[in-house]
Amino acid sequence: MEVPFVLGEKKLFPDGLVRVSRGQRTWTALVEVKTGSNELVAEQLENYLDIARDHGFDAVLTISNEIPAVAGQHPTKVDRRKLRKVALQHLSWTNVLTEAVMQKEFRGVADPDQAWILGELIRYLEHPRSGALEFDDMGESWVATRNAVAAGTLRPTDKGVSEVTNRFDALLRFASLRLGRQLGTEVTPVLSRKELADPSLRTQALLGSLVEHGTLTGAIRIPDTVGELVLTADLHASRITCHVDIDAPREGRPTTRVNWLVRQLKNAPDDLRVEAFVAHGRGVGAAELLVAVRENPSVLVADPAKELRSFRVAKSSPMGLKRGRGRGTFIDAVLGAVDAFYGEVMQHLKAWSAAPPRLRPEPEPGDHRPHVPAALVSTALSSQDGAQTQPSNGDGPTDDGSSESADAAGIGNAAASEPIILPEASP
């Protein structure tokens, strides 16, 4: 702690030095920590990068309440030439707390002393006076940007617009860490490979959406769920919408496929919006509130001749306008929308899976009509025409939990085990 170093004529004291050894390899990093609303300073970090380079250290690690918009990105801009030999890495206090909770509560700690120490760290970081703050501010430009969107006067070059988009991505990352801490799994914002390689592309996309449509949109990936949780903040309408897309079953009538989804939403609120999309369809699909779909599944079937391929389930809620935390704020509205949508909808949805194929039963010897000569009875697979539907598993699409019969599907009613009887030849 507070290790002294000399750089030129200056004596500097980084908050700490960490050295980890494993076998013949050693990794060393200087550590700089900020708490509360204190932000990292570029000049200070560049000095520490110079010290690390002169001493052959591997990295400079910073910890603060600043949450970068993209994972792996540092919240403070420094001279990139100083990063040629030394890495600059960052952790937010939210990230530290999330990792600590997941390790202690979900993965486990074998050593009782280490488990106790980790528990004390969690208790300390969760205390409001620890200085490890949650994401609590959309920035100074939030109100001006929100008002410009409402008035239709927002321009890409307006002051603070880029800060608002970056804060929105940071809020998504904070919401992911927060949800992951509750679920005990790694929840991450969804970014394309190009956006991960060049974060400015994500900023440009958000900026264009905000200026043209007045919306901010992002997605969260939660392991083992049916799809991505997509969040859209509409600053024109002052609404926040969460939705998830789910593939429809690949068999059954259209209304049967709708009922398959409705059964999974039996405890969901009535004001959910359910939208159905058909194969090779263009534009929006048929959409209704869940309460209407429960009463009449056919309201989502615009054309019975077209195959339903997917559904979209969405929930809308009011958007807070204030920049900070508390009642009526944008941040709390987003966090509440994410938690409610996952708890009421996403955690109950399961993807459809087809039942495994079953073996055709072999015909028993002598299993034919007595008056028909055995030579005229065909038991070959090629002669037993007529498609047969397989019984479904518990996740099948039918109303009673099993697959439709061949008659109901209009396929035919010949049983696979019944031999085909050829007529006797005339004398």
- Give the model confidence (pLDDT) of 166-219 as tens digits: 999 999 999 999 999 999 898 999 998 898 888 888 989 999 999 999 999 999
Span 83-96, average pLDDT: 93
Q: Provide the 3-class DSSP secondary structure of residue 326.
A: coil
SS3 content of the chain, % helix, strand, coil (to 5): 35, 20, 45
Quote the CA–CA distance of 173 and 162 in Å, as a whole number: 17
319 falls within a domain:
yes
**Last residue of a domain, which of 329, 348, 367?**
348
157 and 302, same structural domain? yes
pLDDT at 407 exceeding the cut of 60:
no
Q: Quote the longest CA-to-CA distance of the chain.
A: 120
The answer to whether the CB of 167 falls within 8 A of the CB of 85 is: no
Angle (nearest 5°) at CA 10 between 8 and 11:
120
Give the pLDDT confidence of 102-134 residue by residue, as tens digits: 898 888 889 999 999 999 999 999 988 898 888
Predicted confidence (pLDDT) at residue 370 exceeds the cutoff of 70: no
Residue 363 lies in a domain: no
CB 214, CB 365: distance < 8 Å: no
- Count CB atoms within 10 A of the CB of residue 218: 23
3-state secondary structure of 186: coil
**Is 416 part of a structural domain of the chain?**
no
**Amino acid symbol at 400:** D
Per-residue pLDDT at 119: 93
What distance in Å separates the CA atoms of residue 158 and residue 250, rounded to the nearest whole number?
A: 49
Pick the closest to residue 198 from 72, 84, 103, 314 (CA basis): 72
Q: Do 319 and 182 sit in the same domain of this protein?
A: yes
Looking at the structure, do residues 169 and 75 belong to the same domain, yes or no?
no
Strands 59-64 and 87-92: parallel
Considering the domain architecture, whether residues 118 and 264 belong to the same structural domain is answered as no
Is the pTM here over 0.75, yes or no? Answer: yes
Ranking 185-199, 343-357, 397-411 by mean pLDDT, the lowest is 397-411
Q: Is 240 helix (H, G, I), strand (E, B) or coil?
A: strand
pLDDT at position 174 is 92
Sequence-separated (6 or more) residues with CB below 8 Å from residue 412? 386, 387, 406
Query: What domain count does the chain have?
Result: 2
The residue whose two tokens read 């025409």 is 385
Question: Is 346 a residue whose pLDDT tops 90?
Answer: yes
Domain boundaries, position 263: 141-348
User: Where does a domain end: 78, 93, 126?
Assistant: 126
**Tokens 């006076």, residue?**
129
Q: In this predicted model, what pLDDT tens digit does every residue of 375-385 receive, in sequence order?
A: 665 655 555 55
Q: Each residue of 298-326: b (16+ CB within 10 Å) or e? A: ebbbeeeeeebbbbbbbbbbebbbbbebe
Residues 121 and 145 in one domain: no
Are 149 and 268 found together in one domain?
yes
**165 and 32 both lie in a single domain:** no
Task: Evaluate whether residue 207 is within a structural domain.
Answer: yes
Classify residue 226: in a domain, yes or no: yes
Question: Mean of the per-residue pLDDT values for the chain?
Answer: 85
Residue 213 sits in the same domain as residue 289: yes
16 occurs within a structural domain: yes
For residue 184, the SS3 value is: coil
Residues 199 and 303 in one domain: yes
Last-in-domain residue among 95, 126, 157: 126
Q: Are residues 165 and 116 in the same domain?
A: no
Shared-domain flag, residues 169 and 119: no
pLDDT tens for 137-167 read: 898 999 999 999 999 899 988 888 988 999 9
Angstrom distance (rounded) from CA 28 to CA 31: 10
Residue 325 lies in a domain: yes
Residue 385 located in a structural domain: no
Residue 232 shares a structural domain with residue 94? no
Structure token digits, residue 166: 């970056």
pLDDT reading at 392 higher than 70: no
